Amino acid sequence: MWYIWDLSIVLSALSLVIMLVLIARRVLQERRGRAQIDQRRQLHTALIAFTENRDREALKLVVLAVPAGVAINAGFEFISLLRGEEYDDVLAAFDECGLPALVGKQLEKGNSAERMHAAEMLAALRSENAVASLLSALDRDRSREVRIAAAIALCDLGSLPPLGIALGKVGVAGQRSRRLIELFRRFPPARFEELRDHAARTDAVPFIRAAAIDALARAAGFHFADFFARAAGDQSPEVAAAALRALGLTGHAEAPAILASAMANGDWDVRAAAADAAGRLGLAGLATPLSALMDDEAWTVRYAAANALRSFGQPGERLLRDIAASEVSRSQRTASLILAEGPAA
Amino acid sequence: MMSDWSHEIVLAASILSWFIIGAGLAQTTIYLLQLIVAAYALSRRPPVARSALLWHRYGDVAPPIALLVPAYNEEVNVVESVHSMLALEYPNFEVIVINDGSKDQTLQRLIEAFKLVKFRRPYEEALAHEPIRGLYSSPMTERLFVVDKENGGKADAQNAGINVCRAPLFCVIDGDSILEPDALMRAAQPFIDDPERTIAVGGTIRIANGSRIEAGRVREIHLPNRLLPLLQVVEYLRAFLMARLAWSRINTLMLVSGAFGMFRRTEVVAVRGFTKGSMGEDLDLVIKLHRHMRDAGRKYRIQFIPEPVCWTEAPETLSVLARQRTRWQRGALECFFRYRSMLFNPRYGRVGFLGFGHILVVDVLGPVAEVLGYILIPAFWLLGILSAEYLLAFTSLIFTYGVCVSVCSLVLEEAELQRFPRARDLAVLTAVAVIENFGYRQLNNFWRVKGWWQYLRGNQGWGEMTRTGLTGAKK
């Protein structure tokens, strides 16, 4: 029976010791926190003074006098406010103080949140070794979020490996992340063809292909319209819908035929994207298939079709009013709702 | 004859004792496992310290979110709550307040404060709910919509909000709760990192009693001044930082709190939304989502993120707390028995075994076994069946283990989140972790057994949740 008492005593003692340690740790942290606030203030003052007098030595003295963690974080926050020559001068001072090397270490040794932040800081600090550190993180880091952050940072530095290789290193699980949309949006125009080639690969993850198409449509516009027109017939609904959305932005000579065909697709997402694109492009010639879509089983499709008709102006509104005045049906109800949208009379 | 009789009593006492000990051991094991898994989860996914970083990182790819705020007789707080929600830091969101047939001036207050005008907005009638009397929009902000509907309860109001909203994600929040400015951005993170699989995300609920609140924001965090909410602070830490984090890690999270949870609309519509009239509509929805996804054979994640904090007001009187706890208990029992076919059903994998097993041990058997223990163990000792030494030794072990579990949840809080600003707060919480084992824990179990009794009698009332209002105003 004594072991039960022993266990109780051990648990009590353990709880007490843990809490005492935590409280002592917190007291120390509070003191350190107060000191850090002063140090940050000191650094910010020195940085502001530097942007006025460009006295690099004075800045370096302050940077080296504060703890590395404070210098890195406060410095990163500050440089995000700077542009042009000022930015380059502060970076040069940071470089001479060895801050990028410390951030490089954080990219290797920190926890996953710190490593992600380190990747972002390295892109901003643009040091000589940044690319090597980031490539290493993309290659080896165990967290896919960190690998994606490294890929985005490398893209910003103009050193992203070929897309297929970079995505391979991010891993299949990471290829579902919306963060990759950001990566694609940051792609330099010189590498758009690479993005298009990846979007065309039928063996690639559909989510990634769709994200690549979205990015191309936003950044490159009509230049890839032929590609979007082809991709609109893709077997993957996700890719086809993205291509239709892209066509809605860029337009294409064959858009009416492509959209009409997509409106009969089995996937509601594709039908909705086609209806939406028709509205954006003002293709009044598609009024008939759009009217048919107003009886679609999916509300999203009905709503997109009705909105497209409304966007055609007078002729579309007239058609909607005719449908609204017809016999009670799904189309009639959708038309009534769309016509009534807005402030109540 | 007398000897046979006493033999049977001893046998019955032994069986009961073993039942109580078995239930206790099962709970103990669960808590221990939760602690280990939660610590691992926090170490694998440490929180991002600064919200500016989140905006920089996720701002461009954050999906649209509709914030659904059911309001019933919330005239005291509703305007301030809506102001604070409109000021949240998220690039693309709309706030939909659903006035669930309030008997007070809730709607009028909103109309006056935001100059609301009647508005027609087409929406999909995907979920059934009580009739909507009118939709309102505000010329002051494009982000705000108010749905005025006939009274149908919280679940019904949320279903109406789901119908009206157009965003692919929606977030439910109580009308009197306060979200941290970056809470949406943090909660949306799993939907950004893994958009195909993530279908629901829950965040931490914290107790705001005692904190300084201005303009719908928690400006200074303080511990509550009164004992009852203080005890609930430790309880909430244990529930959120330990239990939910652990279950989330192994994708067996069974509860995303109705006070703050984010869901993918398509899946919620597929399971017909919140179950109207349910005592535990939040638990019910998550169970339905698990069942739906498992039946469909789809990969999915229901996650808990410890950082997005929603502040709520904890009951300050025993009567209100008792009503809340009996209701929670009835909700858990109702869901357990409604979906009992999932228990230990191999088709539902770890949800059936671990998730439902946890509900069985902690919510269904737990309170009964513990209250039986309070009554029978001293009785056995009085009857001479149990030795005094064992009684004292076991009692001390139960209490010290309870303290240790609470302390460990404080460790998780302190190691990664550190929301309590002063070292003194930690000392106070340590004392509370000890005190709660003497009286509060027993009272809680008594309320839970009362919930059991009410459930068996078919009592479906919610009881009135009297709040003083987070701004301090009485209502």
Confidence of residue B468 (pLDDT cuts 50, 70, 90): low
- The predicted-structure confidence for B24-60, as pLDDT tens digits, reads as follows 778 888 888 888 998 888 887 776 667 778 888 888 8
CB B433 to CB A15 under 8 A?
A: yes
Is some CB atom of chain B closer than 8 A to the CB atom of A181? yes
- Buried-exposed string A302-317: b where 16+ CB fall within 10 A, e elsewhere: bbbbbbbbbbbeeebb
Chain B residues within 8 A of A19 when measuring between CB atoms: 407, 410, 426-427, 430
- Least confident range from A248-262, B208-222, B264-278: namely B208-222
Check: CB of residue A16 under 8 Å from CB of residue B406: no
CB A11 to CB B404 under 8 A?
A: yes
pLDDT at B475: 32
Distances (CA, A) of B271 to B256, B286, B290, B334: 16, 10, 10, 18
Superfamily of domain covering A254-345: Leucine-rich Repeat Variant (1.25.10.10)
Give the residues across from B100 on adjacent strands: B149
By CB neighbour count within 10 A (0-12 exposed, 13-18 middle, 19+ buried), where does B247 fall?
A: buried
Residues 6+ apart with CB under 8 A from B383: B9, B13
Over 60: is that where the pLDDT of B469 sits? no
pLDDT at B421: 81
**What residue of A is the nearest CA neighbor of B399?**
A8
CB A1 to CB B389 under 8 A?
A: yes
CB B411 to CB A26 under 8 A?
A: no
* ipTM of this predicted structure: 0.87
CB B195 to CB A177 under 8 A?
A: yes
pLDDT at B463: 54
- The B residues from 431 to 450 touching A (CB cutoff 8 Å) are 433
Tell me the domain boundaries of chain A.
Answer: 187-248, 254-345
Phi/psi for B138 (5° steps) reads: -115, 130
Of A17-26, A86-95, B293-302, highest mean pLDDT: B293-302
CB atoms within 10 A of CB A19: 22
CB A182 to CB B60 under 8 A?
A: yes
Structure tokens at A12: 């009590």
- The predicted-structure confidence for A189-199, as pLDDT tens digits, reads as follows 999 999 999 99
Over 80: is that where the pLDDT of A339 sits? yes
DSSP annotation string for B186-207:
HHHHHHHHSTTTEEEEEEEEEE
pLDDT at A110: 86
Q: Considering only CA atoms, which of A262, A240, A250 is closest in space to residue A216?
A: A250
Sequence-ordered strand ranges (E) for B335-389: none
pLDDT at B270: 96
pLDDT at B9: 77
Q: Are strands B93-100 and B65-71 parallel, antiparallel or unpaired?
A: parallel
By CB neighbour count within 10 A (0-12 exposed, 13-18 middle, 19+ buried), where does A54 fall?
A: middle
Q: Give CA A65 to chain center in angstroms.
A: 37
Query: Which of B140, B403, B405 to mutate: most A Cβ within 10 Å?
Result: B403
pLDDT at B248: 93
- Identical fold, A187-248 and A254-345: yes
Over 50: is that where the pLDDT of A94 sits? yes
CB atoms within 10 A of CB B436: 23
- The A residues from 118 to 147 touching B (CB cutoff 8 Å) are 120, 145
Chain B residues within 8 A of A23 when measuring between CB atoms: 423, 426-427, 430
Is some CB atom of chain B closer than 8 A to the CB atom of A299? yes
- The predicted-structure confidence for B219-235, as pLDDT tens digits, reads as follows 899 999 999 999 999 99
CB B118 to CB A343 under 8 A?
A: yes
Rounded to an integer, the average pLDDT of A7-35 is 89
- Least confident range from A292-296, B145-149, B389-393: namely B389-393
Structure tokens at B387: 């030795």
Instruction: Give me the count of residues in chain B.
Output: 475
**3-class SS at A47?**
helix
Query: Which of B51, B117, B148, B193 to mutate: most A Cβ within 10 Å?
Result: B193
- The B residues from 117 to 156 touching A (CB cutoff 8 Å) are 117-122, 124, 126, 134, 137
Check: CB of residue A7 under 8 Å from CB of residue B395: no
Check: CB of residue B224 under 8 Å from CB of residue B207: yes
pLDDT at B170: 97
Topology at the third CATH level for domain A187-248: Leucine-rich Repeat Variant (1.25.10)
- Residue B20, CB-side half-sphere exposure with 13 Å CA sphere: 20
Residues 6+ apart with CB under 8 A from B236: B205, B206, B207, B314
Chain B residues within 8 A of A341 when measuring between CB atoms: 120-122
Q: Which residue is associated with the tokens 């005291």?
A: B76
